[in-house]
């Protein structure tokens, strides 16, 4: 006869109380290593691979191999976390694998050096292998960190605060990357293949060092969630996958999360290409425009932590961000080269929209999970699987047609521009995804209950 231990009212009440500032801070920095390496991955990987001699299609294969490995790893790791728990162990193991493998992605072709070969096939296989290893470690860290939100607290507003904090430090990580890149690109010149590899190797080493410092802070400041441990006493069975597949909300949240990641990742991958190749802006714009985007996202993410959240507000703020992105996408599609400085103003609104849709899309996962913690890692893992596969395929298709551009189209008769792949990737794809995401969100039925609102600011002393 199995014993049934029910969590006491006082103990359960402690899980619904608002979290303190330090708890939110320690959790927020836990994804910094993933964020700074992912920013480097999406911003510079395609650029780096083409600069060292790989064709756009081979570069796309490397990107796709990493995304596919990441996608399948999220499902497998999510299942293991649901079965055995130990979020921090998975997080630490994934971070270690990321730190070891990331420098090899940008550090040159190791098999080529061993075999004394200059074969492009061997180079492609080498980079694809290390990209897959890196993304497996990245998936372990991501799934464990995302799933922890639902097991730290039952308070809906605190869950959004944790997500907002994570997103705010994600913006800090992105800004850190561009600061590092600006210094490296300014100090050294990439006049040869070896110098180009050296540039990105130093960027990779710097990213790993900074990210690992914050991983240590996270591991020291965050405790293994007690909520997960206590609730398992009263419900030892893991929630089967079929339970989630029977819920309409699961599919709605999955579509919104997938589209949100497509907006962010595809736009980030083609931003540098667009400002340099299409708009022919100064080289400094390659770092300055992304910096403006992330500064605006950081400010909005901090502001979102001070709002008492419910289902209606999640929907409203997501729709607001999606609509802003639609206007930005149309502006990018129609932006002529002669007024390329207008891109700085567009980047401000892109940063605002990115923060709104990302924070609310991730928070919708917490609404979906609720108190059903036996499958929280599977939900995070399965949605991340869809995200990785869709982004990998989208970037592969776009990059495979990178050399194809359509004829010039007149704008106001006096100016002309090309409808290039980069313009589609930065403007059309995010705009269409945002439109679909807003439409799906509008018909969602999210629980509007707030367990207990925040009684104090989270990031102010």
Q: Is residue 34 part of a domain?
A: yes
- Shared-domain flag, residues 320 and 440: yes
Q: Is residue 232 part of a domain?
A: no
- The pLDDT assigned to 460 comes to 33
- Shared-domain flag, residues 103 and 130: yes
- The pLDDT assigned to 402 comes to 67
Q: Which of 226, 252, 269 is the last residue of a domain?
A: 226
pLDDT at 211 over 90: yes
pLDDT at 407 over 70: no
Domain count, the chain: 2
Query: Where is pLDDT greater, at 1 or 135?
Result: 135
- Which of 13-22, 30-39, 290-299 has the lowest average pLDDT? 13-22
CA distance 434 to 428: 10
CA distance 253 to 243: 15
Give the bridge partners for 411, in sequence order.
415
pLDDT at 271 over 90: no
Confidence of residue 335 (pLDDT cuts 50, 70, 90): confident
Q: Which residue has the tokens 């899309």?
A: 361
Cβ pair 366, 160 in contact under 8 A: yes
CA distance 172 to 351: 13
Cβ pair 355, 297 in contact under 8 A: yes
CA distance 73 to 67: 10
- Shared-domain flag, residues 217 and 318: no
For residue 313, give both structure tokens: 């507000």
Q: Is residue 214 part of a domain?
A: yes
Q: Which residue has the tokens 């296989």?
A: 125
- Shared-domain flag, residues 117 and 61: yes
pLDDT at 81 over 50: yes
Q: Which of 226, 254, 289 is the last residue of a domain?
A: 226
- Shared-domain flag, residues 102 and 190: yes
- Shared-domain flag, residues 132 and 255: no
SS3 category, 19: coil
For residue 86, give both structure tokens: 């130990």
CA distance 413 to 432: 27
For residues 97-113, give the mean pLDDT.
Answer: 80
CA distance 227 to 371: 10
- The pLDDT assigned to 213 comes to 93
Q: Which domain holds residue 136?
A: 20-226
Give the bridge partners for 416, in sequence order.
410
Query: Where is pLDDT greater, at 194 or 295?
Result: 295
Q: Is residue 100 part of a domain?
A: yes
pLDDT at 385 over 90: no
The H or E element spanning position 128 is: helix 120-152
SS3 category, 309: coil
pLDDT at 192 over 60: yes
Model confidence pLDDT, tens digit, residues 247-262: 888 899 999 999 999 9
- The pLDDT assigned to 459 comes to 39
Q: Which residue has the tokens 């497998």?
A: 76
- The pLDDT assigned to 174 comes to 84
Q: Is residue 458 part of a domain?
A: no
Q: Is residue 459 part of a domain?
A: no
pLDDT at 216 over 90: yes
pLDDT at 318 over 90: yes
- Has this prediction a pTM greater than 0.95? no
Give the DSSP letter of residue 407: P
User: What is the separation of C-alpha 13 from the centre of its chain, rounded to a whole number of angstroms?
Assistant: 32
- Shared-domain flag, residues 135 and 220: yes
The H or E element spanning position 62 is: helix 56-84
The H or E element spanning position 409 is: strand 409-411
- Shared-domain flag, residues 213 and 282: no
For residues 71-87, give the mean pLDDT.
Answer: 82
For residues 441-456, give the mean pLDDT.
Answer: 61
Q: Is residue 13 part of a domain?
A: no
- The pLDDT assigned to 435 comes to 96
Cβ pair 44, 384 in contact under 8 A: no
CA distance 453 to 156: 8
- The pLDDT assigned to 412 comes to 43
pLDDT at 103 over 50: yes
- The pLDDT assigned to 456 comes to 40
Residue 311 CB: number of other CB atoms within 10 A? 18
Query: Where is pLDDT greater, at 137 or 337?
Result: 137
Q: Which residue has the tokens 């710097």?
A: 206
- Shared-domain flag, residues 98 and 137: yes
- The pLDDT assigned to 373 comes to 65
- Shared-domain flag, residues 66 and 205: yes
Give the bridge partners for 410, in sequence order.
416
- Shared-domain flag, residues 329 and 439: yes
Query: Where is pLDDT greater, at 375 or 49?
Result: 49
- Shared-domain flag, residues 254 and 219: no
Q: Is residue 413 part of a domain?
A: no
For residues 402-423, give the mean pLDDT.
Answer: 53
CATH number at residue 277: 1.20.1250.20
Q: Which of 167, 195, 226 is the last residue of a domain?
A: 226
- Which of 270-274, 288-292, 363-367, 407-411 has the lowest average pLDDT? 407-411
pLDDT at 242 over 50: yes
> Half-sphere exposure of 34 toward its Cβ, with a 13 Å CA cutoff?
27
CA distance 459 to 452: 18
Q: What is the DSSP string of 395-457?
A: HHHHHHTTT--PPPEEETTTEEE---HHHIIIIIHHHHHHHHHHHHHHT-------SS---S-
Confidence of residue 321 (pLDDT cuts 50, 70, 90): very high
């Amino acid at each position: 006869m199995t014993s049934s231990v029910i969590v006491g009212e006082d103990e359960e009440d402690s899980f619904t109380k608002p979290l303190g500032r330090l708890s939110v801070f320690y959790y927020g920095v836990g994804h910094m290593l993933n964020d700074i390496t992912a920013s480097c991955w999406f911003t510079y990987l395609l650029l780096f691979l083409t600069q060292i001699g790989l064709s756009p299609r081979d570069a796309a294969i490397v990107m796709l191999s990493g995304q596919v490995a990441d996608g399948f790893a999220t499902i497998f790791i999510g299942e293991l976390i649901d079965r055995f728990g130990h979020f921090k162990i998975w997080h630490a193991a994934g971070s270690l694998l990321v730190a070891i493998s990331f420098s090899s992605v940008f550090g040159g072709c190791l098999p080529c050096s061993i075999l004394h070969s200059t074969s492009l096939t061997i180079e492609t296989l080498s980079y694809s292998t290390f990209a897959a290893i890196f993304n497996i470690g990245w998936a372990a860290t991501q799934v464990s960190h995302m799933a922890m939100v639902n097991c730290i607290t039952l308070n809906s507003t605190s869950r959004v605060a944790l997500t907002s904090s994570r997103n705010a430090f994600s913006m800090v990580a992105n800004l850190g990357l561009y600061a590092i890149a600006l210094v490296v690109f300014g100090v050294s010149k990439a006049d040869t293949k070896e110098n180009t590899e050296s540039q990105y190797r130093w960027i990779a080493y710097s990213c790993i060092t900074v990210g690992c410092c914050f991983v240590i802070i996270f591991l020291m400041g965050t405790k293994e969630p007690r909520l997960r441990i206590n609730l398992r006493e009263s419900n030892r069975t893991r929630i089967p996958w079929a339970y989630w597949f029977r819920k309409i909300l699961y599919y709605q949240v999955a579509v919104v999360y997938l589209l949100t990641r497509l907006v962010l990742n595809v736009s980030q991958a083609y931003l540098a290409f667009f400002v340099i190749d299409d708009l022919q802006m100064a080289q400094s714009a390659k770092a300055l425009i992304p910096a403006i985007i992330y500064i605006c996202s950081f400010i909005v993410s901090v502001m979102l932590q001070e709002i008492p959240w419910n289902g209606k507000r999640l929907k409203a703020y997501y729709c607001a961000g999606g609509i802003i992105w639609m206007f930005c996408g149309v502006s990018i599609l129609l932006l002529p080269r002669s007024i390329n400085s207008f891109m700085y103003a567009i980047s401000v609104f892109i940063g605002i929209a990115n923060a709104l849709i990302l924070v609310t899309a991730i928070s919708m996962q917490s609404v979906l999970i609720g108190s059903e913690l036996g499958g929280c890692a599977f939900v995070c893992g399965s949605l991340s699987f869809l995200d990785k596969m869709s982004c990998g395929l989208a970037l592969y298709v776009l990059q495979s047609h990178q050399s194809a551009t359509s004829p010039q189209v007149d704008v106001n008769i006096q100016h002309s521009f090309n409808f290039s792949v980069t313009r589609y990737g930065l403007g059309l794809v995010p705009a269409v995804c945002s439109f679909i995401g807003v439409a799906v969100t509008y018909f969602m039925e999210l629980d509007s209950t707030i367990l207990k609102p925040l009684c104090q600011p989270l990031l102010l002393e």
